[in-house]
Structure 1
């Protein structure tokens, strides 16, 4: 067998450009970011070569519409002829790849050597003039999207740096408009430490102002409140009222966490803006902060995260995990400081972002101990802060589900029980640990069955009197696996209370799923249901203090009574917010029709006289 001959992959550049524009990059507008990143890396490299070098970038626009051109010039380190062949002709190569190059890899933003190709998304030709700061002739490189390029030496020596020329291609005109270019230059380069100048036929202006002092030292932001808020409004597009400075232990990552001026959903997408080596890399970084920190929108600057190939996100690695934890600590520490020294400010944040505060409190007992008094909870005494509920001096009962709370809220309120709805996310967990951070608080988990323990039993005379009624009611509701009990309880306006045991709740869930499932899955669920049938009985408590129940229990109408019992059953389900099965809905509909028929028949008998 002959040895295999080696072959090289052939790269279809036009196909590569399609991948860049439709899959790797979020939009053609990123070509400007790639040019800025290349310029930034070139300036960084020259600073390593020439200490004290002052970098600058000039962007010039001329013409308009389809004849518009753009020139992006930097005074960075430039490229030699050898480097042009190596880095611009080899897809995937990077001038920053070698640890023996002018600067270590971590000094640069770009790492993949494909940034310049993004320019083909807006131009059918890329022309680059470059002069290496290391010497040698100036060079011209011309690239086309078909994969061909030319190189020639220039007779004239240029100033060290690189100049890229782009001519607008059809349907890319918007990316060459002065306002759009100016906005994107600021968008990507607002934190760069050297001037970016935009020049047009009738104006010239520096895009990025001098860097604020609190970029290097975020703690100084506290004393420059209005400046920081205005900076955030311009970059993030929202008007903020408060913020928290961020800084990691190493000092290599910092930022400002702006408190969102509106409440947000737990599942809302995070949109933090991250600058790597002072260049915007990601405007929608979702994994740089802990999950509970969804009440802030951040500007973050760092030199220690590793970007993905698109340079719009970051690799999930140990370094990112550590930074995420430390940024979370910055937010937590500032909130703790507010709790001690500026409680009014913290209360304002909690009122707007209670869910985030609860999410953090679940993770941090010390934080919970400081802020629990201001956290809002729904209770039978109304919506109140937890501190006010503790000050009531009563035992605080709570439920673990919203449905349980809704089922017992009327009964509990009538008996002056303080019950808190623990069914919302984090609430039940916080109520269970409240005594650990607040010793004077007495909490206890309450179920619907527990409420029934306070009901008043019937006398022996009453038990005998209503024996036949209870036997009939049990018989009528047997097909729903529901036992009936007759009690006296408050409020008298509530005719019946439906309660589920753990087994009966599981069975109802299985049966509800079975009704919506495929035939195969339905048979599996039916087998599971069969194993629960024996013990899975619910209870329906009729309230003898309710005038309607008293009349029905004393009724001897053998035709009306079963229908009335069924209607009271489905009414109790609705009052308890239980989803009803098809059979129960049929009972409701049939009962309504029967009562309407009776009413019409009676009206006909009396000639329509209601008196």
Structure 2
């Protein structure tokens, strides 16, 4: 037998082949399409395995210094990635336990890591398995710090793996080699790797070095010393702002330190430099045991805190199987409440020591501040004067309105405010528009801050009580015209009232009863619904039709209305009243139905015809002077 034959035979004796105890192809499909948000998480899993290995070895030797190295050779489809750590390594028994039984914890003791608090968060087997998303073969070289032979482990996506015992002894630690799978070149690009390694490992206590294209760079150079106590970031403002810009990709001008009573969760809440919508996505970056878990955590802060974007680090929350989110449980609820309380306390502190800074945040993020004030009376007491509201005196800060010394009225809806704002301002009534979210609730709650102040809801009919009735002589004089006008609007279920009120520039005011408002909403929905749904809505609307009457108040002090009702031409009166009706709808921002649109179009045509048939230029000028 030749020497080469002997060597091959000996090599075969030292290599054993095995099968994974799992449906590997099915598992890879689950990882790719269901569990992980992107194949790039393979890098996080490799990094996490390395961190866990370094952490485990550090527990054996306090003087040991851990390090992690990532190297890329080649480019494109020929690229190979290697990640190496000088951690605890694996024995052959470990390899079988953690790699054959996919999903087995890399922490001994018989308890799964997702249900036990430990310094490890990885699952070595399923983490390494994620590499099949970007490589057709995984090669791992490992040497246990506990001794034994160095091992080579090769895994393939067909469900087989082999273990070869090496003659040469490695230094303790593990190396994992991946060759680029066709179509996965983006995951081996050095620039992408540099960014992703920083995203995942910016807070890690062990240095991560990337070797690529002939250069070496340490990824996590700036690991803030205020991670232990976020309040220390106040003294390093510029550093904290640069840190947020690098991690979150946005330039910030202010931040608030976050912490919980246990000290096991902390972070920095960066104040967004622009106003955001209430329904905007809350995308916070959360690190579990210093490793990035989620770039878009939405449930880590209270709903009202949508004016900040946070970097949060924790060692007490329970990750989901993908390790990209957290389980919604009692622990998460407690952390969320305490982080929200941390934000609230800082805002209240600003009111005492830095009110200009707080006012800037309130002006920029009024909606979020109102959301917090609506659920926290103490906070409302402190900031209420700086909150702005739309009123019959324009958009003003509440403090300015309070200084007027007037009674404060508010409406519950935007429609109510639009109906009465012109009349209310003319009568010097201070009315706040409560139609926007939180506004009515806050103004109503103002009575708890100022119990002696008259604060009440105002209805459109309450304002109409301030109208001046026409005299008995005028009622007799205009009786027939009022009757014609009222009859003209019956098809719109609207009655006419002739009054005098201010401002005189306002010819008409449209008000809705509760029943009429609901009926208009049903009819609007009916016009754009299917025939089946329209039939149902029509049936619902029939219950309102008897009581669903609106009112059109016509202002006799207005020259246009005065001239209309002084005219003996009934056809002109009917057309003019219909035009005043649709004009009042438009002023009140009410959507018009088909019948009302038809009345508007017909009225325009009538007045064009009358204008064209007018006798002389003098008549036309007189008509124009009167507003027609």
Q: Same fold (TM over 0.5)?
A: yes
1:94-493 map, 5 Å: 94-96=105-107, 98-99=109-110, 105-111=117-123, 113-209=125-221, 211-439=223-451, 441-493=453-505
Match of 2:69 in 1: 58
Q: Deviations over 1:255-305 (max 9, x none)?
A: 000111111111111111001000111010010000000000101000111
Q: Deviation of residue 538 (structure 1)?
A: 0.9
Separation in structure 2 between the aligned mates of residue 419 and residue 53 of structure 1, nearest angstrom: 71
Match of 1:526 in 2: 538
- Specify the SS of the correspondent of 2:247: helix
Q: Deviation of residue 11 (structure 1)?
A: 4.8
CA contact (8 A) 1:272 1:286 kept: yes
1:550-565 map, 5 Å: 550-565=562-577
Question: Which is further off, 294-303 or 440-449?
Answer: 440-449
TM-score by length of 1: 0.94
Separation in structure 2 between the aligned mates of residue 248 and residue 194 of structure 1, nearest angstrom: 25
Q: Deviation of residue 585 (structure 1)?
A: 1.1
Q: Deviations over 1:302-322 (max 9, x none)?
A: 011111122111111111111
1:549 is the counterpart of 2:585 = no
Structure 2: give runs of 5+ residues left out of the alignment.
Answer: 1-18, 622-628
1:36 is the counterpart of 2:62 = no
Q: Deviation of residue 438 (structure 1)?
A: 3.4
1:591 is the counterpart of 2:606 = no
Query: 1:10–1:303: structure 2 CA closer, same or farther, 3 Å change rule?
Result: closer
Separation in structure 1 between the aligned mates of residue 52 and residue 426 of structure 2, nearest angstrom: 72
CA contact (8 A) 1:106 1:304 kept: no
Match of 2:11 in 1: none
**Alignment RMSD (CA, Å):** 2.1
Question: Which is further off, 202-211 or 220-229?
Answer: 202-211
Query: 1:465–1:98: structure 2 CA closer, same or farther, 3 Å change rule?
Result: farther
- Specify the SS of the correspondent of 2:251: coil
Q: Deviation of residue 12 (structure 1)?
A: 4.2
Q: Deviation of residue 608 (structure 1)?
A: 11
Question: Which is further off, 48-57 or 585-594?
Answer: 48-57
Separation in structure 2 between the aligned mates of residue 9 and residue 562 of structure 1, nearest angstrom: 87
- Specify the SS of the correspondent of 2:396: strand
Q: Deviation of residue 163 (structure 1)?
A: 0.7
Separation in structure 2 between the aligned mates of residue 111 and residue 353 of structure 1, nearest angstrom: 42
Match of 1:19 in 2: 30
Q: Deviations over 1:556-582 (max 9, x none)?
A: 112222222211111111111111111
Separation in structure 2 between the aligned mates of residue 33 and residue 71 of structure 1, nearest angstrom: 14
Separation in structure 2 between the aligned mates of residue 571 and residue 210 of structure 1, nearest angstrom: 64
Q: Deviation of residue 528 (structure 1)?
A: 2.0
Structure 1: give runs of 5+ residues left out of the alignment.
Answer: 1-7
- Specify the SS of the correspondent of 1:106: coil
Match of 1:69 in 2: 80
Match of 1:4 in 2: none
Q: Deviation of residue 155 (structure 1)?
A: 1.6
1:540 is the counterpart of 2:580 = no
TM-score by length of 2: 0.92
Q: How many residues align?
A: 602
CA contact (8 A) 1:362 1:368 kept: yes
Separation in structure 1 between the aligned mates of residue 554 and residue 616 of structure 2, nearest angstrom: 32
Query: 1:565–1:9: structure 2 CA closer, same or farther, 3 Å change rule?
Result: farther
- Specify the SS of the correspondent of 1:91: coil
- Specify the SS of the correspondent of 1:26: coil
Match of 2:592 in 1: 580
Q: Which runs of 4+ in 1 moved over 6 A?
A: 100-103
CA contact (8 A) 2:49 2:124 kept: no
Separation in structure 1 between the aligned mates of residue 511 and residue 74 of structure 2, nearest angstrom: 77
Separation in structure 2 between the aligned mates of residue 10 and residue 130 of structure 1, nearest angstrom: 21
Separation in structure 2 between the aligned mates of residue 198 and residue 232 of structure 1, nearest angstrom: 22
- Specify the SS of the correspondent of 1:107: coil
Match of 2:624 in 1: none
Q: Deviation of residue 150 (structure 1)?
A: 1.0
Separation in structure 2 between the aligned mates of residue 267 and residue 258 of structure 1, nearest angstrom: 18
Match of 1:499 in 2: 511
Query: 1:571–1:367: structure 2 CA closer, same or farther, 3 Å change rule?
Result: same
CA contact (8 A) 2:100 2:125 kept: no
Q: Deviation of residue 525 (structure 1)?
A: 2.0
Match of 1:48 in 2: 59
Separation in structure 2 between the aligned mates of residue 308 and residue 274 of structure 1, nearest angstrom: 13
CA contact (8 A) 2:20 2:159 kept: no
Query: 1:326–1:559: structure 2 CA closer, same or farther, 3 Å change rule?
Result: same
